[in-house]
């Protein structure tokens, strides 16, 4: 197994660590940092999420730079992204930090695009992530990070930056999903 795939697997292994830190009731209390008060567990969870998210960039960088792109990596990398983002969004809903309907839309898009990729792969086509999909992923990561940090240092007047970031992530999620389906609509045309 090459280095990029090991990095991707480390991202998958960080998901249960993130979940334990966020969902097990540790008595670590609260902390105040830069004028914001949040549970210590949420701060640690945010750090774990941010570290796990950066591995997405690192594994891709090494895979491209050293020509280490593999079928295993093509399978694991988007799976790791979807598992990490889905787990974090569900945790945010649990703590009433993100609306459930937005989480459902985002996770539904991820399932739909994964299904589209499977249909296309059955016909011998591989759909790589495009720039819009990459922007969507980073918009989601930024929104989730800021929400986990309870909007620490990101207040924009009376509108929390976390809310703006989540709306931006939602818009790019829908837009990139629409883009994938319109560019690959031939997958649903009958070949009779």
pLDDT digits (tens, 9 = 90+) for 146-179: 999 988 766 656 778 888 999 999 999 999 999 9
Give me the helix-helix angle, 131-148 and 71-94, nearest 10°. Answer: 40
Q: Which two tokens stand for residue 24?
A: 């097990």
The predicted pLDDT at position 9 comes to: 95
Look at the block and give the residue holding tokens 């993100």: 98
Q: Could you say which DSSP state residue 97 is in?
A: S
Alpha-carbon span 63 to 11, nearest angstrom: 15
- Candidates 82, 191, 189; CA nearest to 144 is 82
Q: Which two tokens stand for residue 111?
A: 């399932």
Residue boundaries of the structural domains of the chain = 3-185
Q: Which H, E and C letters describe 25-37, residue by residue?
A: CCCCCEEEECCEE
Alpha-carbon span 40 to 64, nearest angstrom: 37
3-185 topology per CATH: 1.20.120
The predicted pLDDT at position 69 comes to: 86
The predicted pLDDT at position 148 comes to: 94
| Distant-in-sequence, close-in-space partners of 55: CB < 8 Å, separation ≥ 6 | 7, 8, 10, 11, 14
The predicted pLDDT at position 155 comes to: 61
The predicted pLDDT at position 85 comes to: 96
The predicted pLDDT at position 153 comes to: 64
Task: Give, in order, the Cα–Cα distances in Å from 143 to each of 61, 66, 171.
Answer: 23, 31, 12
Q: pLDDT by residue for the chain (192 residues), tens digit each?
A: 899 999 999 999 999 999 999 999 988 999 987 777 889 999 999 999 999 999 988 998 888 899 988 878 888 888 899 999 999 999 999 999 999 999 999 999 999 998 888 888 777 777 767 889 889 999 999 999 999 998 876 665 677 888 899 999 999 999 999 999 999 888 777 655
| Distant-in-sequence, close-in-space partners of 48: CB < 8 Å, separation ≥ 6 | 14, 17, 18, 21
Task: Give, in order, the Cα–Cα distances in Å from 129 to each of 52, 68, 73, 165, 176.
Answer: 19, 17, 13, 21, 10
pLDDT digits (tens, 9 = 90+) for 127-149: 767 889 889 999 999 999 999 99
């Amino acid at each position: 197994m090459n280095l990029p795939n090991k990095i991707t697997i480390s991202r998958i292994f960080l998901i249960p660590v993130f979940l334990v830190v966020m969902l097990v009731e540790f008595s670590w209390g609260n902390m105040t940092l830069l004028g914001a008060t949040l549970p210590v567990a949420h701060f640690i969870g945010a750090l774990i999420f941010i570290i796990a998210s950066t591995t997405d960039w690192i594994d891709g960088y090494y895979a491209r730079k050293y020509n280490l792109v593999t079928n295993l990596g093509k399978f694991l990398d988007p799976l790791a992204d979807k598992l990490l983002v889905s787990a974090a969004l569900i945790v945010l809903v649990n703590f009433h930090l993100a609306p459930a309907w937005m989480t459902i839309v985002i996770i539904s898009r991820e399932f739909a695009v994964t299904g589209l990729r499977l249909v296309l792969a059955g016909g011998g086509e591989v759909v790589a992530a495009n720039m819009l999909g990459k922007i969507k992923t980073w918009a989601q990561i930024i929104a989730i990070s800021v929400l986990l940090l309870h909007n620490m240092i990101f207040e924009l007047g009376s509108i929390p930056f976390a809310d703006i970031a989540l709306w931006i992530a939602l818009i790019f999620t829908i837009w990139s999903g629409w883009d994938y389906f319109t560019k690959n609509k031939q997958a649903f045309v009958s070949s009779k």
